[in-house]
Structure 1
Amino acid sequence: MSHAFSAARRPLLALSALALAASAHAQNKLDTVVTTATRTPQRLAEVLADLTVITRADIERQAAASVADLLRNNGCAEMARNGGAAATTSLFLRGADSRHTLVLVDGVRMDSQSTGGASWQGMPVAQVERIEVLKGPASAIYGSDAVGGVVQIFTRKGGRQISADLGVALGNLGTHKADGGLFGSSGIFDFAVTGAIEESDGFNSTVDYPGSFSYVPDRDGWHKYQGTARIGAQVAPGQRAEFVALRTHTNAQYDGSKSKPLVDDHTVQDTDARRLAWTSQWTPALQTQLSYGQSRDRYETQPSPYLTITQVRNLALTGSYAVAAGQQINFQGERIEDELQNSGLVTAGVGKRHRNAVGAGYLFNQGAFSLQAHARHDADSQFGSVNTGTLLAGYAITPGLRVVGSVGNAFRAPTIYQQGTVYGPDLSKPGVKPLMAEHGHNVEAGLKYTAGAHELSLTAYRNRVGNLITFGAAGSCQSAFGCYQNVSEAKLQGVSLAGATQLAAVNLRATLDLQKPTDASTGLLLARRAKRLGSVNADTVLGDWTMGAGVQASGARFDNAANTRRLGGYALMNLNAQYKLSRDLKLQLNLDNAFDRATTTAYGYASAPRTVLASLRWTPAL
């Protein structure tokens, strides 16, 4: 047993005990209003699905390098990354592939029609107000992509009082950051404008492993620029219009080949999102929202000439109608248009498709019993129609203990790249069929316990994902190197525990996942996914100080599908402290990977060493 594996296993055993004994913050979150679980506003206490909320306070205190780090640090997902905070990043929710998690930013779909899935390295973090993480399939509500779950990122909003938020930070590795925002309202209008810049000299992102093709002993830095703008108008009682725009720019160095050590390789990524929405409260029972969203993901490598651009457009009408007390009907209709610009496409470098969808849901809550049913029909212009449905139920055994369960299916549409390049099916060949959508079939059951300030949840799940698209043998396409095919099936099963409690003045939160994401045909673990992972976070207030600590731990994984290339387990400790210098000014210190553990989440690539960050944040009311 390796030292790294032993180091990871000890905290994981501690996580088990803490998660089973845990409860919630002194600040109870059950009255928080969330929208991701049903696509309509709902109290967190009424949610039947497995949902986690990460607040602005969590974001500021942890000062995570990226949204992906934030989700990993809070036990929401596993992460694999090819180097620093701006490098190519994958997230595995309940062991599902990264492309099987739907990502929304203020309701705008984020996706890549080349690789599939959102580009996590381009997600903003400084401007985030909160994040809602829904685990489990949700295609019956959102359509394609939500096989493993949904991550919805909400950027900051304006308040009644005009205020500012300014922050500067300096750290080791040549890191410096600055961000600012102006928030408020005037008359019928409210607004929020934010911006952020981050630059770092970074660290050597590659490791000199045997067989490594890209090791170059240099530092791989990055810079990021991010900005958001939100303008809302309460046009009339019950009538609100809102416009949101977001842009991020990332330029990151990487090592393309050790045979060319003097070449300065870069990935340049620009992510844009815009959304216009009109929300109407027609009667106390009837609410609708009409929205148009558009996202654009541009990814380029330099000097190596590779460029791919994905655009997603989404027109949606959603709403709800309260039939009676404790009974509600949700409805939706939407059109999603995907466009890919990539030189590898056989259709003059541009591919397009669209999906039309209609859906409905029924929410019932009477006494101890709760029921939710969702159904949706998606008609895709390329691969045909898909019907999805989810049924959830809950029963309160006691006022504080509820048993919940659900069954449902989900799908991920093949990407335009998978279908439209020389690696996609050649339909002119006898017996060759178009790629089918990947399908997930999930069943889960759980317990949710609350008692005053205490919470605990336990969820057991099994999700079988069939028609998985992999790059297999040649023969069905025009390429002699290999073809995309529906040939695999994955079995994702496990148990998730989450809880938190207050011991004296200390708030404790813990998660533990015992999972087995495998290839159903071989029984081998899926690449870069562990059987055990978890987190523990604690914070307390001592006078003008707020002190916090967190541990993230993972068992061993394998970098390849054959399970022959082992990645050791790890346990990382992060520390943070805030000191209130005045009413509007505070000093913050963050120490991540405090013991400077050398870890890797992808073979040949290093993870961040010990990092230190000192910040000043000024939040005056104007």
Structure 2
Amino acid sequence: MSQVFLAARRPLLALSVLALAASAHAQNKLDTVVTTATRSPQKLSEVLADLTVITRADIERQAAASVADLLRNNGCAEMVRNGGAASTTSIYLRGAETRHTLVLVDGVRMDSQASGGASWQGIPISQVERVEVLKGPASAIYGSDAVGGVVQIFTRKGGGKVSADLGVAYGNLGTYKADGGLFGSAGIVDFAFTLAGEESDGFNATTPDSAFSYVPDRDGWRKYQATARVGAQLAQGHRAEVLFVKNYANGQYDASRSRPLVDDHTLQDANATRLAWTAQWAPALQTQLSYGESRDRYQTTPSVYLTDTKIRTLALTGSYLLAKGQQINFQGERIEDRLENSGLVTSGVGKRSRNAVGAGYLLNAGAFSLQAHARHDDDSQFGSVDTGTLLAGYEVATGLRIVGSVGTAFRAPTLYQQGTVYGPDLAKPGVEALDAERGRNFEFGLKYGAGDSEFTATAYRNRIRDLIIFGAAGSCQSSFGCYENVSQARLQGLSLAGSTKLANVTLRATLDLQKPTDASTGLLLARRAKRLATLGADTQLGDWLLGASVQASGHRFDNAANTRRLGGYGLVNVNAQYKLGRDLRLQLNLDNAFDRAHTTAYGYASAPRTALVSLRWSPQL
């Protein structure tokens, strides 16, 4: 594994030097307008936080199996998966728990009030236009969940002339994919409609290490996805939009080796709806009123388990330009959580609400930039939480800035943690309700951007207290164990990322040196590595677009005691795209090209070598 990382570090150092030495000579994605960092539009070059943008071109070129794979491929996060593409998937952003990453689909919260955190396996990828990954706490802007960061997924949007986008693909493991989209506008209305389907025979999801559930068979999956996004320019500066996203996944898994002939399945529905009205009342004043609703429904069959989360959000956000370079952001929000789960003692249904107000100040005074955000959340179950973030940056040379920030964040206990027999029994003397998990983060970094070159270096330290764990019995009704606020985590590390263009070759690399530990024991948090790296290159040769990438991870431990070791791994992916005609492309993707056996969770297998041949037609109609 040390050889893998030596191979990754040397190109990264060379790339960093090249990025810092490059000169500004062209407009690039630094001019891209993003919204996740401040909840208001700003150029990527003006963002002070650690933000990564993954574009539609990146998504098509990599042909990742899921959004979680896409994040891992681009060095944004660690991924852990219990088998195939429809299996339970976790994402660790800067080493934080998967429930500590807020996930938004076009501004709609995606969360499970049972397990905590988004169900990554149910989030679509074929309809995604771009992904913005914000690293670091953002509760002062978004409220609960954003302890480790925010991942916002933007679906494809219509506009301009009517066009279509059709794709079919075939791969090994008996994999078939098809997707189609219609995009365009008519008068004041623009539209985007997409459909996608995927089926695979899969691979064996478990390994012989799994003493309980190993069954030597293939565990396949099916996924179906649809989106509809329609907008209308009602008047000058006034736009209304409606969005529907529906996703269904059916994945096979091995529940028990004692029942090898039973076909066990997980069924996942992850849907989102949003209504929004954006208004430009004056050159200095903009508002957006939105209503969002998401549903995360997960069940297993024939083993009976069902959990159904619904989240409703009503929000008013906006910005006011005080003067050139000075802006105030404001927000008011109501969030309602609802959980149906047979484990809840309140007739299988749990509910709560949260009201919030927040404000931000953005200053851009030449070489100096400052941002301050504050928010107050009042939860109907555990009370109120105040959070804040302060960021500053100074341009020491053209394109080179020093940045730093301090911020607080929180994650509300889930309805399942609060409301089952494993939650606190408030009738017992001295027992209190679960409190929110709270984080405090400090970071310092360098940002460079000019022309085709970018480089960032960020050192951070995030301390999270009152972590909720499943501990010893005594404070709840169960004799098996209870949820309690007892643990603390210390997340610290250095993140490096860079990209540049040499002649006709685009190079990109990331390196994360991190130490996510239990603050009380000093042991590594489960399933998180100390070292992670990616390295990629793409080039255009005539009608060919060729690319290759490497993903490397150091060893991890599957348990909190650090006694069950998971080996490190390095994966090589290659892709090739050929332009058959003006609107027709042929593509080949080969992932895990050397068929490296590896596992991210003890007893569960990861995908072997996978090959996918795709044909895509994108005509103007």
TM-score range, shorter chain: over 0.9
Report the Cα offset of residue 7 of structure 1.
5.4
SS of aligned partner of 2:5: helix
In the alignment, what sits opposite 1:592?
591
Q: Deviations over 1:33-77 (max 9, x none)?
A: 000000000000000000000000000000000000000000000
In the alignment, what sits opposite 1:230?
229
SS of aligned partner of 1:491: strand
SS of aligned partner of 1:603: coil
Q: Deviations over 1:413-454 (max 9, x none)?
A: 000000000000000000001000000000000001123322
Distance 1:486 1:606, change over 3 A: same
SS of aligned partner of 2:71: helix
Alignment of 1:311-460 (within 5 A): 311-460=310-459
Measure, in 2, the Cα distance between the counterparts of 1:455 and 1:359: 32
Report the Cα offset of residue 10 of structure 1.
3.6
Distance 1:312 1:19, change over 3 A: farther
Measure, in 2, the Cα distance between the counterparts of 1:205 and 1:7: 29
Q: Does the 8 A contact of 2:274 with 2:290 survive in 1?
A: yes
Worse overlay, 574-583 or 26-35: 26-35
Report the Cα offset of residue 144 of structure 1.
0.1
Counterpart amino acid of residue 575 in structure 1:
V
Measure, in 2, the Cα distance between the counterparts of 1:490 and 1:22: 36
Measure, in 2, the Cα distance between the counterparts of 1:172 and 1:10: 32
Report the Cα offset of residue 14 of structure 1.
3.2
Alignment of 1:561-576 (within 5 A): 561-576=560-575
SS of aligned partner of 1:117: coil
Report the Cα offset of residue 15 of structure 1.
5.1
In the alignment, what sits opposite 2:16?
20
In the alignment, what sits opposite 2:164?
164
Alignment of 1:524-543 (within 5 A): 524-543=523-542
Report the Cα offset of residue 18 of structure 1.
4.1
Counterpart amino acid of residue 254 in structure 1:
Y
Alignment of 1:578-617 (within 5 A): 578-617=577-616
Q: What root-mean-square deviation, in Å, do the aligned CA atoms of Structure 1 and Structure 2 show?
A: 1.1
Distance 1:574 1:63, change over 3 A: same
Q: Does the 8 A contact of 2:15 with 2:507 survive in 1?
A: no
Report the Cα offset of residue 19 of structure 1.
4.9
Measure, in 1, the Cα distance between the counterparts of 2:607 and 2:596: 9
Report the Cα offset of residue 510 of structure 1.
0.5
In the alignment, what sits opposite 1:194?
194
Measure, in 1, the Cα distance between the counterparts of 2:253 and 2:14: 39
Report the Cα offset of residue 485 of structure 1.
0.3
SS of aligned partner of 1:30: helix
Distance 1:300 1:18, change over 3 A: farther
Tell me, yes or no, if structure 1 residue 11 matches structure 2 residue 10.
Answer: no
Measure, in 2, the Cα distance between the counterparts of 1:259 and 1:11: 44
In the alignment, what sits opposite 1:559?
558
Worse overlay, 27-36 or 98-107: 27-36
Counterpart amino acid of residue 356 in structure 2:
A
Measure, in 2, the Cα distance between the counterparts of 1:525 and 1:228: 40
In the alignment, what sits opposite 1:469?
468
Measure, in 2, the Cα distance between the counterparts of 1:452 and 1:190: 33
Measure, in 2, the Cα distance between the counterparts of 1:20 and 1:502: 12
Q: Does the 8 A contact of 2:12 with 2:535 survive in 1?
A: no
TM-score (norm. length: structure 2) = 0.98
Measure, in 1, the Cα distance between the counterparts of 2:87 and 2:424: 31
TM-score (norm. length: structure 1) = 0.98
Report the Cα offset of residue 99 of structure 1.
0.1
Measure, in 1, the Cα distance between the counterparts of 2:601 and 2:237: 50
Q: Does the 8 A contact of 1:22 with 1:509 survive in 2?
A: no
In the alignment, what sits opposite 1:621?
620
Measure, in 1, the Cα distance between the counterparts of 2:157 and 2:149: 25
Tell me, yes or no, if structure 1 residue 70 matches structure 2 residue 74.
Answer: no
Worse overlay, 320-329 or 18-27: 18-27
Measure, in 2, the Cα distance between the counterparts of 1:290 and 1:18: 47
Measure, in 2, the Cα distance between the counterparts of 1:204 and 1:19: 39
After TM superposition, which residue ranges in structure 1, 4 or more long, deviate above 2 angstroms? 5-27, 450-453
Measure, in 2, the Cα distance between the counterparts of 1:467 and 1:282: 44
Measure, in 2, the Cα distance between the counterparts of 1:137 and 1:268: 32
Measure, in 2, the Cα distance between the counterparts of 1:322 and 1:291: 21
Report the Cα offset of residue 21 of structure 1.
2.9
SS of aligned partner of 1:282: strand
Q: Does the 8 A contact of 2:538 with 2:546 survive in 1?
A: yes
Sequence identity, in percent?
A: 76
Measure, in 1, the Cα distance between the counterparts of 2:35 and 2:245: 20
Measure, in 2, the Cα distance between the counterparts of 1:537 and 1:26: 22
In the alignment, what sits opposite 2:137?
137
In the alignment, what sits opposite 1:240?
239
Q: Does the 8 A contact of 1:443 with 1:462 survive in 2?
A: yes
Measure, in 2, the Cα distance between the counterparts of 1:327 and 1:97: 35
Measure, in 2, the Cα distance between the counterparts of 1:138 and 1:43: 18
SS of aligned partner of 2:417: helix
Q: Deviations over 1:232-275 (max 9, x none)?
A: 00001111000000000000000001111111100000111000
Report the Cα offset of residue 456 of structure 1.
0.8
SS of aligned partner of 2:29: coil
Q: Does the 8 A contact of 2:5 with 2:533 survive in 1?
A: no
In the alignment, what sits opposite 1:177?
177
SS of aligned partner of 2:31: coil
In the alignment, what sits opposite 1:217?
216
Measure, in 2, the Cα distance between the counterparts of 1:332 and 1:347: 33
Q: Does the 8 A contact of 1:135 with 1:148 survive in 2?
A: yes
Distance 1:265 1:8, change over 3 A: farther
Counterpart amino acid of residue 242 in structure 2:
F
Measure, in 1, the Cα distance between the counterparts of 2:485 and 2:403: 33
Measure, in 2, the Cα distance between the counterparts of 1:262 and 1:34: 50
Tell me, yes or no, if structure 1 residue 203 matches structure 2 residue 196.
Answer: no
Measure, in 1, the Cα distance between the counterparts of 2:484 and 2:456: 38
Measure, in 1, the Cα distance between the counterparts of 2:3 and 2:207: 21
Tell me, yes or no, if structure 1 residue 307 matches structure 2 residue 344.
Answer: no
Counterpart amino acid of residue 260 in structure 1:
R
Q: Unaligned stretches of 5+ in structure 2?
A: none
Measure, in 2, the Cα distance between the counterparts of 1:111 and 1:14: 39
Q: Does the 8 A contact of 1:12 with 1:533 survive in 2?
A: no
Measure, in 2, the Cα distance between the counterparts of 1:615 and 1:314: 38
Counterpart amino acid of residue 374 in structure 1:
H
Report the Cα offset of residue 592 of structure 1.
0.4
Q: Does the 8 A contact of 1:19 with 1:512 survive in 2?
A: no
In the alignment, what sits opposite 1:271?
270
Q: Does the 8 A contact of 1:11 with 1:571 survive in 2?
A: no
Q: Does the 8 A contact of 2:191 with 2:229 survive in 1?
A: yes
In the alignment, what sits opposite 1:83?
83
SS of aligned partner of 1:322: strand
Q: Deviations over 1:191-216 (max 9, x none)?
A: 0000100000000011101x621110
Report the Cα offset of residue 455 of structure 1.
1.4
In the alignment, what sits opposite 1:520?
519
Alignment of 1:100-139 (within 5 A): 100-139=100-139
Measure, in 2, the Cα distance between the counterparts of 1:248 and 1:332: 30
Alignment of 1:490-501 (within 5 A): 490-501=489-500
Measure, in 1, the Cα distance between the counterparts of 2:399 and 2:232: 40
Measure, in 2, the Cα distance between the counterparts of 1:538 and 1:37: 28
